[in-house]
Amino acid sequence: MAQILTSKKLLHNLTICLLILAVVMCLCTFVGSQRISLLKALKGPGQSPGYNIDYEIFIIRLKRVILAAIVGAALAASGVILQALLRNPLADPYILGISSGAGLGAVIAVLSGITFTFAAGSPMAVFAFCGSILTITLVWYIGKSAAKSQLTSLLLAGVVVNAFFSAVIMFLTSIAKSDQLRTTIYWLMGNLTDKSSPVLIIASVSVIAGITLMFTLCNKLNAMTLGDQEAHALGVNIPRVRLIAFAVSAFITSVAVSLSGLIGFVGLIVPHAVRITFGPDHRQLLPLSAIAGALFLIMADTAARSLFGQEQLPVGVITAIAGGPFFLVLLAKYSRKVSWLK
């Protein structure tokens, strides 16, 4: 029998998971192809740039760990929201065409040769963010007006838009130059690179604000997972909650995609793992999934930049390799649980 989630239990679980996250972030900062000394790193930058190489490497790795935490938390939290709204366990942050819109924006930025920056963000990041926001807006309006069943229409609109934009991306990459092609493919595979402090601050504030807003709606999400009629009987304003949830999910996913490219499986398997471990209550599922997503991507990125020495793999490759078998294990475990209940 499932235990009732109390505020004390929620606070206990959050505290433990946050402590684990803090420890993992600290440890992964010192893991890499080149060893660094903690004592030397803490002495500061030195008298001239590059004087204290341990400090320079420490700062680069710290920014990358923070970036991985932001992106992982955003993708996992978005996965939780979409799985609740669509009542589809296979829903992930890219199901509504966000990935293709962001990818198309990034490809256009590369092929155009634009070099401007906005809020310390690269052209690829700016174009990817704008592309994903415009795509989700298009999908929302198509789904809203296409049929009586808005959820089904949203899924179909997302699939169609995703397929169309993916075809456009393939066409543009086929006519790209060799250096442009490499940049584009590397971004599409998911890649975490060094970002400036202003970008990390803006991204972290945006993601945390989005997750916090959704946390206030967790009771309504719990009701909506029972069905629209049941949620309406409990006093939930379904259209309003659905609009806010889709908007927040699209926004934090767009932030993540603009920073890292397309990283799969985080928004799909992390919510499943947390749901199986801690239960389906969204008051706990949402924040713990965000923390678990940050943990998962931090460790995946650490492996990506450490396994082959100076050669760094795209982190999207690591998440796909690790995520596929892990998801099959979770699916088998969940199937066994269901069979015992029958």
Kindly report, residue by residue over 7-33, the tens digit of the pLDDT: 888 899 999 999 999 999 998 888 877
Query: Is the model more confident about 18 or about 97?
Result: 18
Whether residue 189 is predicted with pLDDT greater than 90 in this model: the reply is: no
Range of the domain at 247: 38-44+51-341
- The CA radius of gyration of the chain, in Å to the nearest whole number, is 21
Q: Which of 33-37, 136-140, 296-300 has the lowest mean pLDDT?
A: 33-37
pLDDT at 49: 55
Whether residue 119 is predicted with pLDDT greater than 90 in this model: the reply is: no
Pair 58, 39: CB distance under 8 Å: no
At 123, which amino acid appears?
P
User: Locate tokens 């939930």: which residue?
Assistant: 236
Pair 190, 304: CB distance under 8 Å: no
Does residue 13 lie in a domain region?
no
Does residue 7 lie in a domain region?
no
The residue among 24, 108, 84, 124 whose CA lies nearest residue 267 is 84
Does residue 27 lie in a domain region?
no
pLDDT at 120: 55
Pair 202, 70: CB distance under 8 Å: no
300: number of Cβ within 10 Å: 26
Does residue 160 lie in a domain region?
yes
pTM exceeds 0.85: yes
199-220 confidence digits (pLDDT tens): 899 999 999 999 999 999 999 9
Packing angle between helix 197-215 and helix 282-304, nearest 10 degrees?
150
Does residue 222 lie in a domain region?
yes
Distances (CA, A) of 264 to 75, 167, 217, 238: 9, 19, 26, 29
174-186 confidence digits (pLDDT tens): 888 877 788 888 8
Does residue 23 lie in a domain region?
no
Structural domain count of the chain: 1
What average pLDDT does the chain have? 83
DSSP line for 5-26: PPHHHHHHHHHHHHHHHHHHHH
Pair 61, 302: CB distance under 8 Å: no
Distances (CA, A) of 141 to 102, 135, 138: 18, 10, 5
Separation between Cα atoms, residue 111 and residue 160, nearest integer Å:
24
Does residue 302 lie in a domain region?
yes
Instruction: Report H helices in the chain.
Output: 7-29, 38-41, 53-86, 98-112, 123-146, 150-174, 178-188, 197-215, 218-224, 228-233, 238-260, 266-278, 282-304, 315-341
Cross-strand partners of 308: 311
pLDDT at 207: 94
Q: Which of 71-80, 97-106, 206-215 has the lowest mean pLDDT?
A: 97-106
Whether residue 284 is predicted with pLDDT greater than 90 in this model: the reply is: yes
Q: Give the count of alpha carbons within 13 A of 30, CB side only.
A: 11
Separation between Cα atoms, residue 101 and residue 340, nearest integer Å:
42
- Rounded to an integer, the average pLDDT of 98-114 is 84
CATH code (residue 285)? 1.10.3470.10
- Measured at the CA of 169, the angle between CA 164 and CA 170, to 5 degrees, comes to 100
Does residue 18 lie in a domain region?
no
The residue among 30, 19, 18, 24 whose CA lies nearest residue 208 is 18
pLDDT at 47: 56
